[in-house]
Amino acid sequence: VVLRKQEHLCVIDSFLLSCRVLGRGVERALLWAACQCATLWGGERIVGEYRCSEKNGQTAQFFPEQGFELVSEDSTASLWTCSLPAPHSMKPDWIALTVREGAV
């Protein structure tokens, strides 16, 4: 995950995972960690974009399933946002994950 801070927003610039880990909770844990980092940076909202392609259709519902709200969409992309701090329900219980200030 690559985050970019823009005033009180944190934008997910890139979110890349192997398809082999999808559906195991790693994607949720990574998003939760990104939200925690954005909160530590003073972010009030985090923003993510989904771009439609032949290879990523299985992730089309990822942001809404994690509680993100739709901001805008067209035929090729959709923009999603979530208030920070992120809901704890985003983090899978079966993955131990700690985000520390200074380790970001």
The answer for 102, left when phi > 0, alpha when psi is -120 to 50, beta otherwise, is left
pLDDT (0 to 100) of residue 90? 85
pLDDT (0 to 100) of residue 55? 84
Question: How far, in Å, CA of 72 to CA of 40, rounded?
Answer: 27
pLDDT (0 to 100) of residue 56? 85
The pLDDT profile of the chain, 104 residues, written as one tens digit per residue, is 999 999 999 999 999 888 788 878 889 999 999 999 999 999 999 999 999 998 888 888 999 999 999 999 999 999 999 999 998 888 888 888 777 765 55
pLDDT (0 to 100) of residue 87? 86
Is 83 buried (19+), middle (13-18) or exposed (0-12) by CB count in 10 A? Answer: middle
